[in-house]
Structure 1
């Protein structure tokens, strides 16, 4: 299940990810704005003091809406899924700074991106974030990043001029993160070529998380993934791969336990096994390994 902020379908995002995954996935999609009238969507416009998020409607147009109120709507949808109704639920949006309760295994795009940025910054790298809206630069609030070197700029997906301007703002950064699922691989390639720096794409982070969670049932070797990483993955049991992916999102043992329907103590055992088999000593190192595997 792909749960997006706007209206379905979002074939522009999902088809690209499915192609890169090369797994026998049957996608189902719900947009949080599906079925709403123009007046109801307009009622979700940003009010004073609210953070904003931009999303796409079925007609291809973009709309800026209230982040906290659309997050509540999405949380209600996710909470309504029954255990084992879906093999995986994917929250297909960065920018939603909240946990979503679910009895299905879940990929939360924002959590996955957040843990990626933290792991890169913790390594000492100066990280540049490209947000889709100018106002999101001031709205960015990730307490865990407060002590790291993180600079934000903005650009719309596909807008070469704005992306070029963003790179000027982020000239001193060593790694660029395109922090929205709307950015495409073409955007990534352009930014990488113009900057000469590594560029992290949200879609690839999400695809990596999906691959890890489904790898146990449908093992597959993705093009460009190192043989060493693949061999280490093969050491893991299906459950350990699920735990690996959720650890990479920065989830606590209790949160992982709720999603997988097991006890926190069992999660702790799986987590220890994962660290040992992947030959890493910290969660940050594990996350960097996953990021590298998803970004050949």
Structure 2
């Protein structure tokens, strides 16, 4: 089986793929594509969000954080999917929790934003959802997505790429103090090591997108 992954940053995503494949639990061939793969730093800097843009956060090949405007990324993501389709991919996973409703392929595409909203809706019909996003500018723009769960929503910001453990711990405590009953880490950059900190500091259950995606991919690739 051939699994294609698409990141809004640069591939390879050595921070995500090992944990994703561990959740898949079987041997698959992975072909990666990044929206920024063919760009240098100057070109990437031109894609930064300005006032009024929908802001996104990702990772470059050198491990550094990058902030992007969604409007600059959509066509590049479509190009990645077309490249993967030419390589006979069986399944595509989008490595971003942002909303990209018009991304389609000739094979199934796992979109974390939709999957997470429906999973959370299936877990509980009441309570308060705590959301950790990478940057403060995302807190308000991401809120409507999570309100579709039917839950009250509170949020805090901490980056999986540039925030310290203390900053992530503080974000977790802030969500707990705001009445959260369940936490979702709203970025594929967050992994199990981040979830452990959030669970420890909040005492709440935590959803990690990359491991959830891996488990769903395992079902589809049997």
Q: Answer yes or no: same fold by TM over 0.5.
A: yes
**1:4-153 alignment, distance < 5 Å:** 4-79=7-82, 81-82=84-85, 85-120=88-123, 123-142=125-144, 145=147, 147-153=150-156
Q: Which runs of 5+ in 1 are unaligned?
A: 216-296
CA distance in 2, matches of 1:28, 1:142: 32
User: Considering only aligned residues, what root-mean-square deviation do their CA atoms show, in Å?
Assistant: 2.0
Could you say if the C-alpha distance between residues 114 and 71 of structure 1 is closer, same or farther in structure 2, counting changes exceeding 3 Å? Answer: farther
- Check the 8 A contact 1:93/1:181 in 2, yes or no: yes
Matched residue SS, 1:12 = coil
CA distance in 1, matches of 2:78, 2:212: 22
Per the alignment, residue 170 of structure 1 pairs with: 175
- Check the 8 A contact 1:87/1:105 in 2, yes or no: yes
CA distance in 1, matches of 2:11, 2:86: 23
Matched residue SS, 2:74 = helix
TM-score w.r.t. the length of structure 1 is: 0.67
> Quick check: which has more Rg, 1 or 2?
1
Q: 1:132, CA displacement in angstroms?
A: 0.8
Could you say if the C-alpha distance between residues 107 and 143 of structure 1 is closer, same or farther in structure 2, counting changes exceeding 3 Å? Answer: closer
CA distance in 2, matches of 1:141, 1:150: 7
Per the alignment, residue 236 of structure 1 pairs with: none
Q: Does 1:192 find its partner at 2:199?
A: yes
- Check the 8 A contact 1:67/1:96 in 2, yes or no: no
In the TM superposition, structure 1's runs of 4+ consecutive aligned residues that sit over 6 Å from their partners are none
Q: Which runs of 5+ in 2 are unaligned?
A: none
Per the alignment, residue 202 of structure 1 pairs with: 209
- Check the 8 A contact 1:32/1:70 in 2, yes or no: yes
Matched residue SS, 1:129 = strand
Aligned residues: 214
Higher strand share: 2
Matched residue SS, 1:44 = coil
Per the alignment, residue 157 of structure 2 pairs with: 154
Q: 1:155, CA displacement in angstroms?
A: 0.9
Matched residue SS, 2:127 = coil
Matched residue SS, 1:115 = helix
Q: 1:129, CA displacement in angstroms?
A: 0.6
Q: 1:84, CA displacement in angstroms?
A: 8.1
CA distance in 2, matches of 1:112, 1:169: 25
Could you say if the C-alpha distance between residues 116 and 72 of structure 1 is closer, same or farther in structure 2, counting changes exceeding 3 Å? Answer: farther
Once the two structures are superposed, residues 133-165 of structure 1 have per-residue CA deviations (whole angstroms, 9 ceiling, x without a partner) of: 111002214357265311111112262222222
Could you say if the C-alpha distance between residues 84 and 119 of structure 1 is closer, same or farther in structure 2, counting changes exceeding 3 Å? Answer: farther
Structure having greater relative contact order (Cα 8 Å, sep ≥ 6): 2
Shifted more, 54-63 versus 156-165: the winner is: 156-165
